[in-house]
């Protein structure tokens, strides 16, 4: 009977595992293989060069600058986005004042706020990047115009043309376009928490801040951990590439001030014709992504709470 059960499980798993191996594992293996060659990406001919690409990587100043920017994305974007999303979701679901029919409720107009926060998810990331590129325009952009209107003309700058502000301007766009998804995600998770927990805590004299840290956050921890990993992957992947590629000059400028690892892979492969070196950078990006996921899972491990 046990033997038949295992054959039944293997029968269901063999097809999806085969598809995963062909479309995920095999491309990764190919990338690692090509990183040891001099392949240009334009010709089928190449030679093995050993660790030459990796030696070149360690002496590449633009790579280290790109890695620094990607790590900054990796540290700050999940922290800011997840924190804002948790705050907004808490206020929408249980952060309102007590009402006659319920001691626990969201702020007034919470349904409207959910739509507003989720609206950026409806837009393509390319459209969002273009809109903010126009907004950041130093001459005709709405941001500098708003600063003029409130008497803060001294703060006006070329947001995407100034190396000191360009990266922060890009990060702000990524927070704006992703926070709504996590608001909806955390709101859905909060609706499954029994209201009795909050009502009992409020009767015992707990305030909203206490209920958040003692009830909401512990019971949402698995969802927060998954969201943190997902946001980190967005910060290291296509989301960061698309925003930087569309919004910045160069792209990645000025003076590589906004270049991130996914964009540097693209530039080396398609602009410079160095596909093998691009795959080497891709391998480094893979290592950073796996290390990030492992650290989050390790540091975030805690006893599972049931309710």
CA proximity to 170, closest of 262, 271, 259? 259
* Predicted local distance difference test score (pLDDT) of residue 71: 93
Q: Is residue 33 part of a domain?
A: no
CATH number of the domain to which 266 belongs:
1.10.3720.10
How far apart CA 85 and CA 189 sit, in angstroms, is 12
Q: At residue 48, what are phi and psi to the nearest 5 degrees? A: -75, 135
How confident is the prediction along the chain (307 residues), in pLDDT tens digits per residue?
455 667 777 777 888 889 999 988 898 898 899 999 998 888 888 889 989 999 999 999 999 999 999 999 999 999 999 999 998 888 888 766 665 555 566 677 777 887 888 888 888 888 999 999 999 998 888 998 998 888 888 888 899 988 999 999 999 999 998 998 899 889 888 888 887 887 787 777 777 788 888 888 888 888 888 888 888 888 888 888 999 999 998 888 888 999 999 999 999 999 888 999 999 999 999 899 889 888 888 876 766 555 5
* Predicted local distance difference test score (pLDDT) of residue 1: 47
State CA 66 to chain mean position distance: 16
Exposure string of 122-160, with b = 16+ CB inside 10 Å and e = fewer, is: eeebeebbeebbebbbeeebebbeebeeeeeeeeebbbb
Determine which helix (DSSP H) or strand (DSSP E) holds 143, and give its type and residue range: helix 142-149
Residue 143's region, left for phi above 0, alpha for psi from -120 to 50, else beta, is alpha
Q: Is residue 20 part of a domain?
A: no
200: containing domain? 60-299
Q: Is residue 248 part of a domain?
A: yes
* Predicted local distance difference test score (pLDDT) of residue 188: 85
How far apart CA 52 and CA 71 sit, in angstroms, is 25
Please, what's the largest Cα pairwise distance for the chain?
79
Structure tokens at 302: 């805690």
What pTM was estimated for this model as a whole? 0.86
Orientation of helix 142-149 relative to helix 125-135, angle to 10°: 40
* Predicted local distance difference test score (pLDDT) of residue 98: 60
Domain count, the chain: 1
Q: Is residue 51 part of a domain?
A: no
What tens digit of pLDDT does each residue of 42-75 get? Answer: 888 888 998 999 999 999 999 999 999 999 999 9
* Predicted local distance difference test score (pLDDT) of residue 304: 59
Exposure string of 164-198, with b = 16+ CB inside 10 Å and e = fewer, is: ebbbebbbebbeebbbbbbbbbbbebbeebeeebb
Q: Is residue 214 part of a domain?
A: yes
């Amino acid at each position: 009977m046990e033997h038949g059960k295992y054959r039944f499980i293997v029968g269901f798993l063999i097809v999806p595992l085969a598809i995963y191996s062909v479309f995920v594992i095999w491309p990764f293996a190919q990338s690692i293989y090509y990183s040891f060659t001099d392949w240009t990406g334009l010709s089928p001919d190449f030679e093995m060069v050993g660790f030459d690409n990796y030696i070149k990587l360690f002496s590449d100043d633009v790579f280290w600058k790109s890695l620094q920017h990607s790590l900054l994305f990796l540290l700050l974007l999940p922290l800011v986005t997840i924190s804002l999303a948790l705050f907004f979701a808490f206020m929408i679901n249980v952060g309102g004042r007590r009402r006659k029919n319920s001691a626990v409720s969201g702020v007034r107009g919470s349904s409207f706020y959910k739509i507003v926060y989720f609206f950026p998810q409806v837009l393509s990331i390319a459209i969002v990047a273009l809109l903010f590129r126009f907004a950041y325009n130093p001459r005709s952009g709405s941001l500098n115009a708003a600063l003029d209107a409130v008497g803060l003309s001294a703060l006006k700058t070329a947001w995407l043309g100034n190396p000191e502000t360009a990266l922060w301007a890009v990060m702000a766009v990524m927070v704006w376009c992703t926070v709504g998804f996590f608001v909806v995600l955390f709101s859905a998770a909060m609706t499954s928490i029994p209201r009795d927990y909050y009502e009992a805590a409020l009767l015992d004299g707990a305030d909203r801040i206490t209920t958040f840290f003692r009830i909401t956050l512990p019971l949402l921890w698995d969802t927060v951990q998954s969201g943190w990993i997902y946001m980190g992957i967005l910060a290291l992947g296509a989301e960061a590439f698309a925003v930087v590629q569309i919004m910045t000059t160069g792209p990645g400028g000025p003076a590589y001030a906004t270049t991130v690892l996914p964009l540097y892979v693209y530039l080396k492969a398609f602009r410079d014709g160095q596909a093998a070196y691009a795959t080497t950078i891709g391998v480094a990006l893979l290592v950073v992504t796996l290390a990030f996921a492992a650290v989050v899972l390790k540091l975030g491990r805690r006893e599972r709470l049931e309710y």
